[in-house]
């Protein structure tokens, strides 16, 4: 079997295709969550704290240089700063994605337990006359 055929056989197995679909959907879901957190959630939180978008908050560490007006200006200035707002935003992104994945896996496990791994019902005991006939058959075989 040639290398190309072997790779094709490997790539077309169910697990590889499922994994590829999961990676693509996970990337798209990550972008949706990042947009939700950065464009909707953080500005709302920032409006309650009175600091604008919380994702653009930073701590300027150079006391000798005047603090830049924005995070973009701080990045341009090249001085030392801690972009704590971006860190909080990324942490919220992670938590939303982690909780979502946990809930999906939990739901899939519950479905699998109910439908796939369903234990077979115990077969009812055979009627008394069948048991008696089996005993007679076994006794006749011994003779």
**What is the reported pTM?**
0.63
What b/e sequence results for 88-102 when a residue is b if at least 16 CB atoms lie within 10 Å of its CB, and e otherwise?
Answer: bbeebbeebbeeeee
Instruction: Report which secondary-structure segment, H or E, holds 59.
Output: strand 59-60
End-to-end CA distance of the chain: 60
Q: How many domains does the chain have?
A: 1
Percent of the chain with pLDDT over 70: 96
Q: What is the mean pLDDT of residues 43-61?
A: 84
| pLDDT confidence tier of residue 45, bands split at 50, 70 and 90 | confident
Stretch 85-105: mean pLDDT, rounded? 91
* 95, two tokens: 């938590």
Tell me what the pLDDT averaged over the chain comes to: 86
CA 11 to chain centre: 23
pLDDT band at residue 14 under the 50/70/90 scheme: low
CB 72 within 8 A of CB 86: no
Residue 1 pLDDT greater than 70, yes or no:
no
The CATH number linked to 15 is 1.10.1200.120
Domain coverage including residue 32: 3-142
Beta strands, E only, 1-143: 59-60, 81-82
Quote the percentage of the chain above a pLDDT of 90. Answer: 34
Q: Look at the block and give the residue holding tokens 């001085």.
A: 79
For residues 23 and 7, the model is more confident at 23
114-126: pLDDT as tens digits: 887 666 777 888 8
């Amino acid at each position: 079997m040639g290398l190309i055929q072997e790779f094709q056989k490997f790539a077309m197995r169910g697990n590889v295709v499922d994994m590829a679909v999961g990676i693509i959907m996970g990337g798209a879901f990550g972008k949706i969550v990042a947009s939700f957190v950065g464009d909707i959630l953080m500005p709302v939180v920032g409006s309650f704290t009175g600091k604008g978008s919380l994702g653009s908050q930073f701590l300027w560490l150079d006391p000798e240089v005047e603090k830049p007006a924005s995070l973009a200006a701080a990045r341009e200035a090249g001085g030392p700063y801690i972009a704590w707002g971006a860190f909080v935003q990324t942490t919220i992104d992670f938590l939303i994605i982690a909780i979502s994945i946990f809930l999906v896996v939990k739901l899939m496990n519950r479905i699998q337990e109910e439908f796939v791994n369903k234990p077979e019902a115990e077969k009812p005991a055979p009627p008394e006359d069948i048991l008696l006939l089996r005993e007679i058959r076994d006794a006749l075989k011994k003779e």
